[in-house]
Every structure is written in structure tokens, then in C-alpha cells.
Amino acid sequence: MPIIPANLNDVPELVALINSAYRGESSKKGWTTEADLIDGTRTNEQGLTDDFNTPGVTILKHMDDEGKITGCVYLQKQGDKLYLGMLTVSPDLQANGLGRQLLQAAEDFALQNHLKAITMSVISNRTELIAWYERRGFSKTGEVIPFNIPEHNGIVKQPLEMLKFEKAI
């Protein structure tokens, strides 16, 4: 199935997918879990609805043959750059190339919108994820960002920081 923009009607299904991929026991089926670092949910319906209503935000989705959302990625235009976040693949489907497809769709989106680079931030101790992005052309910018999230987005189990990455398009 093609990767297409999601809409407000997709919010409940996206919330369930994102939370299953990042937090809780279900996320441990995949390799991108944050469950050992952060308790609670990654997002909620109000937060994702707010994202859809934010200027410059697009969330792309991938669906399987039955129409179930199996992956998504958050994109936000910021000047001449595109911020990429919440790249999500169902834990049962990880390591099968869907993440690469979503990342390519994000790059295509950046090109179509005449943006010069894609930026993102990754929790510093998620070494496998950092290596995955570096293999796809992202480089550390040297910027370190304190990791502070509202409690409705989870409860941090240990001090964390984010590393900023960028890839020229």
C-alpha cells in the first residue's frame, strides 16, 4: 500500500499504534522500544489532534492490505527544514523495511516542498536507533537537548538527553 497523509479520523488508530511501538510490553516485540527508559503512554488523542491542527504538520501513514495502519511518521515544516519525529512501525512488522519506506516518504515530502534538510532528535542512549539513522545519512549536529516531556507523554525512569541529527536533502 502507498504511504499517504493521515487525517483526524485516523487519530484513535494512530495513538494505539504509536503507543504499542514505543511503550509497554507490546513495544518489546520490536527493537525501537522506549519501555525500559520511559513508563506510560507516548501520545494520546488530544496530543495527536493538536498535532494535526498545528500549521506545517503532516503525519504520513502506511496501511496494510486490510486498511489497518501499520506505520506512520510525524513531519513538521520549520523554515527551510523538515523536522521528523515519531517514526513508528508496528512491533510485529519491524525489521522488514517499512521504517526505511516511511523515511524515504519523508525525504520525498521534503523534496516536494523544496526543503533543504531533515532534522530530528533521538534519545542519546538508543544506540541501535542512532546507528540506523546514521546508516541512512543522518549526522549528529553536536547539539544536545535536555529530555523533558509532559507527564501525559510518559514518566522518565532515568535522566535522559536527546541528540540532534540532520540530513541534507
pLDDT at 132: 95
Beta-carbon contacts of 63 under 8 Å, excluding residues fewer than 6 positions away, are 1, 69, 70
Q: What is the tens place of the pLDDT at every residue in 101-132?
A: 999 999 999 999 999 999 999 999 999 999 99
The larger pLDDT score, comparing residue 15 to residue 28, is at 15
Domains and their CATH numbers in the chain: 3-168 (3.40.630.30)
Note the maximum CA span of the chain.
Answer: 43
Query: What percent of the chain stands above pLDDT 70?
Result: 99
Give me the residue label for grid cell 500500500.
Answer: 1
* Residues β-bridged to residue 76: 57, 83
Angle at 109 between CA 106 and CA 112, to 5 degrees: 155
pLDDT at 88 over 90: yes
Q: What is the tens place of the pLDDT at every residue in 35-57?
A: 777 778 889 999 999 999 999 99
pLDDT at 22: 85
- Please tell me the distance from the alpha carbon of residue 81 to that of residue 67, in angstroms, as a whole number: 31
Q: What is the tens place of the pLDDT at every residue in 53-77?
A: 999 999 999 999 999 999 999 999 9
The larger pLDDT score, comparing residue 33 to residue 5, is at 5
Chain-centroid distance, C-alpha 14: 11
